[in-house]
Homo-oligomer: A and B are copies of this chain.
């Protein structure tokens, strides 16, 4: 049995809550519950767990939504160009460039103008800025969703939910959604594509048609933070609705770099939106919101040599992820929903609460998956499982099989 515990061999297996866990494991689970309660709407980070409950060895962080091969690639460049050369001192010591300087670098790669690009300290800063500044009074958010979209709503806003149906695989019915927008006098709408946390994907053509129908709204927000993982066909071509911004000035396309490039610690993201909106944001804020290291990332991101290497690890990761998802579907005891992202939403069929299952998997196997019990629109039996590298994916599969069999 693989174990995530520094426990003595003499710990005897006991049946607690219907599962084979030792009293020590049960005690650790209690401590995890306390930590989770203190962590708000997002799972406690691996660092927090390791610091506060060092007895638990987190072996595989399958909460963490990133392409680990892209991190390897970035670290290769970083080691060669920043560490080996001593350049990191200037990245740490000096002020980074201002927003507009980085936008100008990015513009050719995004096939848009610098004046349409806003650089964020992670996509999360942009979500906050766009929701606070450009959303209207009645904003529609599909459920389940990334919670910041409703948590960041201001007091003067009303958030309306469009609940996606699990029986329909959380597919967003765009026609029904348009009707709801009309009927309920919605003035702003959020669309995450592929959606987080279920991974459901809308084809680009359909999204474009949808956005064009909504030119009268105050804001249409499309979050493409996971779009690098989506593949409409075997060409694995990168898709984006960025080009629509010229035609639809109410559109903001938001993109995190944390997921596809595996660099969440650097905090890098961007949005493409109307030049007026970018100007409005920059006119009284966001002066030095990049760091030296995130600026280094953006300067790397636009380089053809890096992009060519990145494209290889992107396609490799998508293919491995597709294989991983197929295997997950074959594990008895859970229902896996279709996904075009680098994670899946799965429903536990035993009736066990997802919080308990997640803690059990972590304590017995060192595999950390995301409970969705805190997500509006998902009852207590949902977990989100990220695809990691092929070896970790094998560990995730083994852990899930073991815990679901009990």
Contacts and interface: CB of A to CB of B under 8 A. Distances in A.
Interface of A: 39-40, 42, 45-48, 61, 64, 66, 68, 71, 74-75, 78, 83, 88-98, 100-101, 121-122, 124-125, 128, 132, 148, 151-154, 258, 262-267, 283-294
Contacts of A153: 284
A153 B285 CA distance: 9
Contacts of A91: 265
A98 B124 CA distance: 12
Contact of A284 (B75, B78, B152): B152
A94 B265 contact: yes
Contacts of A264: 93-96, 288, 292
Given A71-B89, A78-B92, A93-B262, 20 more contacts: A64-B95, A75-B89, A78-B88, A90-B265, A92-B263, A93-B264, A94-B264, A94-B265, A121-B125, A121-B289, A122-B289, A124-B288, A128-B287, A132-B285, A148-B287, A152-B284, A154-B284, A265-B292, A266-B291, A267-B291
B97 A45 contact: yes
B83 A88 contact: yes
Nearest to A92: B265
A92 B68 CA distance: 12
A92 B121 contact: no
Max count, chain B CB within 10 A of own CB: residue among A90, A154, A267, A292: A267
Nearest to A150: B284
Contacts of A288: 122, 124, 264, 267
Contacts of A88: 78, 83
Contacts of A75: 89, 92
A194 B114 CA distance: 37
A92 B64 contact: no
A265 B287 contact: no
Contacts of A148: 287
A98 B83 CA distance: 27
Nearest to A129: B285
Contacts of A258: 95
27 contacts: A40-B100, A45-B97, A47-B94, A48-B97, A64-B95, A71-B92, A71-B93, A83-B83, A91-B265, A92-B263, A92-B265, A92-B293, A93-B262, A93-B264, A94-B265, A95-B265, A96-B267, A121-B125, A124-B289, A128-B287, A264-B292, A265-B292, A266-B291, A291-B291, A291-B293, A291-B294, A293-B293
A17 B9 CA distance: 85
A265 B96 contact: yes
Contact of A291 (B40, B95, B265, B283): B265
Nearest to A78: B92
